[in-house]
Amino acid sequence: MAWKKVAGHTAWLGRSSAGSHPARLRWPPLARVPSPPQVSCFENVLLDMSLEAFDDQYKDCDAKVKANWEAPTPLNFTASKDFESTWQRATSEWEERKASLRDLPSGFQAEHGTAVLAYTSRGSLYRDFNAATRAAGKSSEDYQKHFPFKRFHFLLTRAVQILGAQGSDCYTTYRGTENVHFQGADAKKQVRFGQFASSSLKEGVAQTFGKATFFTIRTCFGVRIRDLSFYLGEDEVLIPPYERFRVVRAKQENDKISIELESDGSYSSFNCGRKNGESRGFVSADPRWGCPSPLRALPWQGGWPPPWQGELQAASSC
């Protein structure tokens, strides 16, 4: 099995160069938890809401703005050294598979499928993309100037949303990490992965990639992408950056941490490429539950009434 290091640690899922095993989902740097001066094989990483992540859900975007992302224009292949070759490989794979994919929902286009395949492919694209996603949400300016994956993020997000709209399933999935101890997972705490997070329906598959921290996840926004992955045996469920979870329980035994997460709706501080007022987050319901999770808007610093007052009133009437 070939492992690659990212910021001092490696996590599931990803690829070996031979494609024999998954080794794809790496964790870019998160907030570090100070550790006592001692020799340790583990890196301590804080599990939180990942508020600096770019988490756009592209809800009700202006038609002209949305058209810019949907237009068949070239992607920014300079964003990652492997982007162009990975996209070409994914495009060829899509052409081979598309005839057999008979159950794709209406609105799912070739570029959506290609984006998912590209994300699951070997190479550095998924790693570079996730690292950039985790850091691009500091401000609208930061997103506009320093996030080179704008169109790829849109295509992958829409792929997840379109696939998720065809069913009402929540999934219990698993995710293992090697050499990383996720800290701060207090019971009832709200957290997000803050990037596209791969997980597996097969506990045994996840365990082969590490047990330093092992997640059991109940996801209601993640979608099954087995037929759109280069690695069918993973039985992968892809979780979007904006899904919010509540910690059910966490425990540590010796050098192993287990964390159980339950879906708690979604949270986005961006929409349509802009930070929402630069002062609040967009909280939405899990549509499969019918009612929003408790609303937690950040302070509004403008006039009164706030521009989203109607949104809050509509949600509170559920």
Enumerate the active-site residues.
175, 198, 236
Q: Report the alpha-carbon distance of residue 5 to residue 26 in Å, rounded.
A: 8
- Ramachandran quadrant class, 122 (left: phi over 0; alpha: psi -120 to 50; beta: rest): beta
Q: Report the alpha-carbon distance of residue 206 to residue 209 in Å, rounded.
A: 6
